[in-house]
Each structure stands twice: as C-alpha cells, then as structure tokens.
Amino acid sequence: MNSEKMFIEVPTETEVKQEIQSIIKKGLINEEKSNFRRNVLATAAAIFVSLFALGLVFPGYASQIPLIGGIFELFETDHRDYSPLQDVALDVSDEVGITQLPEDNIRTYILEDGTIKIVNETDGSVTIMDVVDEAGRSVITDGVIPNVINETDGMSLTIKEVVFDGQTVYFTYHVETDRALGDDHWFELSRPELWVDGVDLMEYQGFGASPGVLQRISEHNYIAIGSFNLPVFDENVEYADFNFTIGNWQVGFPIVKIDTEVIEVNETVSNESFEVTILQVLVSEIGGMVFYDYILPLKYDWLGWDFFTSSPVPEGVQAEFGLRVIDDLGNELDGEMSSTGIGDEEGLWVRGTLTLSEPLNQEATELIITPFMYVSHWYLGDWRHDGVGSVGEEEVIANGGSVETREVILGEIVVPLP
C-alpha cells in the first residue's frame, strides 16, 4: 500500500489573530457578560489545541495567558473599550517584582451571643460578624467562614502590561489558582508608592484605585485590568518606579509616560452658591482627563444614614457635582469621575478628575466643558427608615415623602485642542 506524506501549513500568530478579528467583524462572535470576548479566546484555544494534537504547538504557549494578543485588546467592559491601550502598552513581565506578604495569623471564636470574633494576630485587628446574614442564612458554609482564609493561598499572580498617561496607571494581570473564584471575587489595592529620584511622591497623598473585574478564561486562570488614579503633582512625571499592594502581594514595576498634551485652563464658573474651577485638561491617544476643584457649601453636604433613620428634621438638601464634555463635532465624551475631599467650616473642598473612556476624535478642535450640580430636596414627613436594607427615592415616596431634583448649570468652558 502506497502512503503519502501529509504536509500541514501551520498558521502564524498574526494570521490566527487576523482570522479571529475577521470573525468578530462578521458578527459571528457574540459578546457575553461585561462584553468580554470570551469566544475569541475559545476560538484561539481551539486552534492551538488542534495544533497540539498534531505535535505542532509552539513551545512556551502553554504558559502564556492569553494565547493570542495582549490583555488590553481582548478585554472590554460595559464601561470602556481598553483595546486602544494595547498599542502603547509597556510589557513589564520581565521587570516586575512580586513578593507574597507574610500570611496573616488568624484565629476565630464563636462568642456567647452567637456572633463570630475574628482576630488577626499579625496586626492585632479584630472583626465581629453575625453568624447569619440579613436573610437569616448562616454565613458558615461547610465549616468555612468567608474572608477568613488567606485569599492568596493556592494562587499565583503575574503582571503583564502597563500604560501610564501621566495621571493614571493601568496594568493587566493574570491570576492562576487551584480553586474556582466567585463572580464577586476581587483583590484590594492599597499602599501605592511612586518613586522619582529617591522620593516617594505618593506620601501623604490621596488616590483612587480599581482592581478591575476578574474574567475567567479557563478552569484555573483569570485575567483583569487594574488601575490607580494618581493625584495632581507639582512636577511632570515622565519615569518612575511604581509599587503597591494587591491582595496579599507586594508588586513593583517601572512606568514610562506615554505621549500626552497638557492644556492649562484655570477657568472658574459659578452659579447660585456653587463655584467650580477647571484646572487643566490632559489629552493622549488613549483618551484624556479633566482636572477640577470646587467647594461644596456646608448646607449641601451629603445626607448621611442618620438623616433617613433618626433625623429630628423632616427635610434635607444635598448637591452632587457633575461634568458634561462634548467636542465641537457634537460628540459627547463619557468618562468616570474620582475625587478626594477635605471638610472645614466653609464646607467640603474637593479636587477630582474626569477620565475620558475613549480617544478623542482626531478632527475635533475644541472641547466644551459644562460643570453642573444636581440639587436634591428630600422631604421625609413623619416616616423614618428602619435601618434594614437600602433607602432611596422609591422608599421615601412610598412612605409619603418626596424628592425634587433640579440641575444647576454653572457655565461653559471652551478648551482649544492642540
């Protein structure tokens, strides 16, 4: 019997990636929850599984997550498309330092009143929690109390890529674990340090941080995009060493600022008793940021829990700040706001940023920034919340109260783009 030799042409990584992108454009892949392109990864994995069966898989791919492309270009949430970050991402996988912190020595006790006492003998902290939740269900499952076991047991962390636009540090990471993680699992971000010429610029500074949403890509593997929103510094940071804690890991890697344009604005607009100053606008190829500050008068401070549960006064008023940004082509730019505040006898002094979630239109020549305040007047009447569950407009209105909200426009600020 004659036999013929079989020759199989192995596609390159670029060819596989182009084919996947073609499938996406044709609409043959449906995005699932959080718009994460899980099927893209599944398609890529299937291709390499076929190659593996033929003994033709490329060395090293087994340990690379994801298999095709970078995490930025494959990861997309309901709030932002991260793919533009891939073109400017810095691969730090060979430069990152990761140290697992000493495990906390935790002991648990069941007290006489039925509550659980959790003692962290490493830092001395004590937590008291109920055995049952608000629905009357036990918090102990199979003899395990949640949030007591060290979350990094059986896990490994890898930092992949970093993007720094001068104000926000974005980083992708991969978690490998020996157990399934729940949909609500997340890692706390804390203790950021930004070292420039031997000085930590983050000392005594506030910050915003998000660990991102973990997306499962295989039985034991998860990826996510985290970020740190840094304060406004007096100096322009081009290069730095960035350190922080994620979960029970201490992480450090270098950051390099991508090309950005800083537009000084320093314009103030006001209306009624509100006044807002737009400080500057930062523009880059991945988006932009608007920096602002304002003082919230004391009488408009946020109504706390005590107002809804035990206030002797049935009425209260509060104000919430917002920014509307459009370009001169009529495109409204979405973004996420973060801020820090310090209270005094005049009210709350706030400094914050609006991070635009997509690149600006290249044909736009101006940004029109409109600061405003939502002023809400709450009337509770004789009703007070019983302290169980949430409270909002529906609960207040259902119990004979009312909520009236109006928008106070402070003015418009036009910012020429470079």
Residues 268 and 254 in one domain: no
Burial (CB count within 10 angstroms: exposed 0-12, middle 13-18, buried 19+), residue 301:
middle
- Please report the pLDDT score of residue 3 as a whole number: 35
Q: Any residues with CB less than 8 A from the CB of 22 and at least 6 apart, and which?
A: none
Residues 301 and 238 in one domain: no
∠ CA 160-91-263, rounded to 5°: 110
Q: In what order do the strands lie in the sheet with 106-110?
A: 106-110, 116-120, 126-129
∠ CA 14-18-22, rounded to 5°: 170
Residues 289 and 406 in one domain: yes
Question: Is residue 143 in some structural domain?
Answer: no
- Domain with 237 in it: what CATH number? 2.60.40.1630
Q: Residue 184 — pLDDT band, cuts 50, 70, 90?
A: confident
- Domain with 404 in it: what CATH number? 2.60.40
Angle at which helices 13-25 and 38-53 pack, to 10 degrees?
140
Residues 204 and 300 in one domain: no
Which of 258, 281, 315 finishes a domain?
258
What average pLDDT does this structure show over 181-197?
A: 85
- Please report the pLDDT score of residue 218 as a whole number: 83
What average pLDDT does this structure show over 344-351?
A: 85
* Residue whose pair of structure tokens reads 């291709």 in the numeric block: 47
Q: How far is residue 275's CA from residue 348's CA, in Å, rounded to a whole number? A: 12
Q: In what order do the strands lie in the sheet with 260-271?
A: 260-271, 274-284, 287-297, 347-356, 335-344
Question: Is residue 114 in some structural domain?
Answer: no
Residues 246 and 284 in one domain: no
Which of 28, 51, 69 finishes a domain?
69
- pLDDT per position as a tens digit, 245-282: 888 788 999 999 998 888 999 999 999 999 999 999 98
What is the share, in percent, of the chain residues with pLDDT greater than 90? 35
Choose between 30 and 356: higher pLDDT. Answer: 356
pLDDT tops 90 at residue 110: no
CB 104 within 8 A of CB 120: yes
C-beta atoms surrounding 74 within 10 Å: 24
3-state secondary structure of 136: coil
CB 242 within 8 A of CB 95: no
Residues 286 and 331 in one domain: yes
Question: Is residue 132 in some structural domain?
Answer: no
- Please report the pLDDT score of residue 414 as a whole number: 96
- pLDDT per position as a tens digit, 15-66: 544 544 443 333 333 333 333 333 334 434 433 333 333 333 333 333 444 4
Q: Any residues with CB less than 8 A from the CB of 196 and at least 6 apart, and which?
A: 235, 237, 239, 240
CB 71 within 8 A of CB 212: no
Residues 355 and 403 in one domain: yes
- pLDDT per position as a tens digit, 54-106: 333 333 333 444 444 588 887 766 677 888 888 888 888 888 888 776 665 55
In b/e form, how buried is each residue of 398-415, taking b as 16+ CB within 10 angstroms?
A: eeebeeeeeeeebbebeb
Q: Residue 157 — pLDDT band, cuts 50, 70, 90?
A: confident
Q: How far is residue 83's CA from residue 358's CA, in Å, rounded to a whole number? A: 10
Question: Is residue 382 in some structural domain?
Answer: yes
Residues 279 and 403 in one domain: yes
Range with the poorest average pLDDT among 104-118, 200-214, 221-235, 372-386: 104-118
Q: How far is residue 209's CA from residue 168's CA, in Å, rounded to a whole number? A: 9
Q: How far is residue 70's CA from residue 82's CA, in Å, rounded to a whole number? A: 11
Residues 211 and 271 in one domain: no
What is the share, in percent, of the chain residues with pLDDT greater than 70? 72
Which of 258, 279, 313 finishes a domain?
258
Choose between 380 and 391: higher pLDDT. Answer: 380
- Please report the pLDDT score of residue 404 as a whole number: 95
Question: Is residue 8 in some structural domain?
Answer: no
DSSP letter for each residue of 235-276: S---EEEEEEEETTEEEEEEEEBPPEEEEEEEEEEEETTEEE
Residues 402 and 307 in one domain: yes
pLDDT tops 80 at residue 151: no
Domain count, the chain: 3
Range with the poorest average pLDDT among 83-92, 116-125, 301-310: 116-125
Number of H helices, E strands in the chain: 5, 23
Question: Is residue 5 in some structural domain?
Answer: no
- Please report the pLDDT score of residue 66 as a whole number: 43
pLDDT tops 60 at residue 145: no
Range with the poorest average pLDDT among 57-71, 128-142, 356-370: 57-71
Question: Is residue 127 in some structural domain?
Answer: no
On the question of a cis peptide bond just before residue 254, with omega within 30 degrees of 0, the verdict is no
The pTM assigned to this predicted structure is 0.65
| Among the listed residues 50, 45, 76, 74, the one whose alpha carbon sits nearest the alpha carbon of residue 61 | 45
* Residue 47: domain span: 13-69
Residues 318 and 234 in one domain: no
User: Can you name the residues that pair with 109 across neighbouring β-strands?
Assistant: 117
Q: How far is residue 99's CA from residue 247's CA, in Å, rounded to a whole number? A: 11
Residues 336 and 400 in one domain: yes
Question: Is residue 147 in some structural domain?
Answer: no
